[in-house]
Amino acid sequence: MMRSVTWVAAVVAATAVAFSAALADGDAERGARRFEECVACHALEKGKESVGPSLYGVFGRKAGEGADFRYSPALKRSGITWDAASIDTFIADPQAIVPGNRMPYAGIADAAARADLIAYLVRTFK
């Protein structure tokens, strides 16, 4: 039992290191251009809800808990707390990660493009 716990901890640590390295390679300028696709539904300003919720204050916020937006029950139940890693996982394939969410978006398969977008969000909100 202890070996499997140690193995799982090692896999989690390796994944975190790999993700951190990928995020460090993200280019916020390319991410700003990538965010132009997101603007149709998401704003960066506080309280500016649209088709999708404002992303202002997204880091550290629990999914489905932003003010003044009607989230899907699936997203509210997801248990996700938004950080760079959870955003990366979610935007890769939103319907696979949270089946039944209302975000009508196929996702970004390219890990480098996701890293760019997240680098832009980190730069914008940190």
pLDDT digits (tens, 9 = 90+) for 55-106: 999 999 999 997 789 999 999 999 999 999 999 999 999 999 999 999 999 9
The amino acid that residue 71 corresponds to is Y
Give the 3-state secondary structure of residue 81.
strand
pTM: 0.79
Q: What pLDDT score does 25 carry?
A: 84
List, in sequence order, every residue forming a beta bridge with 81; answer none if it has no partner: 62
Specify whether the CB–CB gap between 58 and 71 falls below 8 A: no
Helices then strands, counting H and E runs in the chain, come out as: 6, 0
Domain map (residue ranges) of the chain: 2-125
pLDDT averaged over every residue in the chain: 85
**What CATH number has the domain spanning 2-125?**
1.10.760.10
